[in-house]
C-alpha cells in the first residue's frame, strides 16, 4: 500500500499494524547475534592466548629443570602476586593514570622497586634468624 507524505514522496506502508514493532525486534535480534558472535570470537582468542605458553611458563619450566619443584612453586607464587597487584591497580584506575602520565609511572615504578627491596631484606633477616 502506498501513501503520500506531506512532501509528496511516496512511502510504503506496512499492511501489518505491528510493522514498527517488528522492525525494532529485528534490530534487537541482530544486536544479540552480533553480541554472541563478538563474545564467541573473544572466547576463542582468550583460549588461544591461555593455551600458548608465554614467558612466565618458560621461567617456571626453567626453574623446575634447574632448581626443582620448590623453586618453581615460589616462581609461580611471584607471578600470581604480580598479576594480583596489576589487577588491583587496574580496578582502581591506576593503570589509566600511569598511561596518561610518565611522571606518575616513574613514581610508581620507583616505589615498587623500593618495596621489593624492603621485602627482600625482610625475608633475608627472617631466614638468617632461623
Per residue in 67-82, pLDDT (tens digit) is: 999 999 999 999 888 8
Q: Which residues contact 95 (CB under 8 A, 6 or more apart)?
A: 86, 89
Query: Does the pLDDT at position 17 exceed 80?
Result: no
Helix (H) or strand (E) holding 76: helix 69-92
Quote the cell numbers at residue 84: 594480583
- Between residues 65 and 39, the one the model is more confident about: 65
DSSP state of 52: S
In this model, does residue 22 exceed pLDDT 80?
no
What is the average pLDDT score of the chain?
80
Could you report the per-residue pLDDT of 86-115, keeping only the tens digit for each? Answer: 888 888 887 788 788 888 888 888 888 888
Separation of alpha carbons 127 and 48, rounded Å: 41
Amino acid at each position: 500500500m502506498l501513501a503520500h507524505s506531506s512532501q509528496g514522496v511516496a512511502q510504503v506502508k506496512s499492511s501489518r499494524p505491528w510493522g514498527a514493532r517488528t522492525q525494532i525486534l529485528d534490530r534487537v535480534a541482530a544486536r544479540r547475534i552480533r553480541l554472541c558472535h563478538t563474545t564467541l570470537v573473544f572466547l576463542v582468542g582468550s583460549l588461544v592466548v591461555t593455551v600458548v605458553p608465554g614467558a612466565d611458563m618458560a621461567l617456571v619450566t626453567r626453574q623446575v629443570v634447574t632448581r626443582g619443584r620448590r623453586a618453581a612453586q615460589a616462581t609461580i607464587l611471584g607471578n600470581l602476586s604480580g598479576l594480583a597487584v596489576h589487577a588491583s591497580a587496574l580496578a582502581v584506575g591506576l593503570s589509566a593514570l600511569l598511561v596518561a602520565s610518565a611522571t606518575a609511572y616513574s613514581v610508581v615504578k620507583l616505589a615498587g622497586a623500593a618495596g621489593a627491596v624492603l621485602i627482600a631484606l625482610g625475608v633475608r633477616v627472617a631466614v638468617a634468624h632461623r
